[in-house]
Amino acid sequence: MSNRGSEPDSEQSPDMPPPVELPDELVEGADRSINIGGEPTTGGRASAFAGAEPEAYVAVLVTESTSDSPDFQPLYEESFVLLTAHSEEEAHEKAREYGKQQEISYHNEHQQLVTWRLKHVVEVKQIEDATFDDGSELYSRFFRDYARYRSFEPTLEGEEP
């Protein structure tokens, strides 16, 4: 999970406003998991799914940073999130809820307000091999234009994100 703005910068000056803290209801326990719908894993299942085990899904989310600063350049984050759900529709809804719960605003080192918002749920796919052993494939996609892919993937150009 990304931690955009969730930890104070060790070099932050005392007169700078602190980062915006996540509300307590979004942070549950030491594992930093959040409730994105459905029954708690320690409790019972919803009656409609009493006999069915949830399946593993991976969701691809894109978030966008914005600011009112005139020289601010938007930054985007693509994240891959593991979900369990009883259907693709439920997994898609949980992905959207997760993305919304990750939205945050904070002041950067120049005291400018930066806001991260869910831009798009790109895709939700069931994980076919949910054994999670070495080499288990979590997500893949096909594309035709490698030059375009390279244009937005900074590590392929030797650039730091």
In a domain, 12, yes or no: no
In a domain, 69, yes or no: yes
Residue 157: half-sphere exposure toward Cβ, Cα within 13 Å: 12
Element of type H or E holding 92: helix 88-101
pTM, two decimals, is 0.65
The overall average pLDDT reported for the chain is: 76
In a domain, 21, yes or no: no
In a domain, 70, yes or no: yes
In a domain, 113, yes or no: yes
Tell me: the pLDDT tens digits for 69-90?
A: 989 999 999 999 999 999 999 9
Tell me: the pLDDT tens digits for 29-80?
A: 434 455 565 554 443 444 444 558 999 999 999 999 999 898 999 999 999 9
Model confidence band, residue 150 (pLDDT cutoffs 50, 70, 90):
confident
**Structural domain containing residue 123:** 53-129+139-160
In a domain, 60, yes or no: yes
Domains held by the chain: number: 1
Give, in order, the Cα–Cα distances in Å from 112 to each of 19, 25, 30, 39, 133.
11, 26, 30, 39, 43
In a domain, 115, yes or no: yes
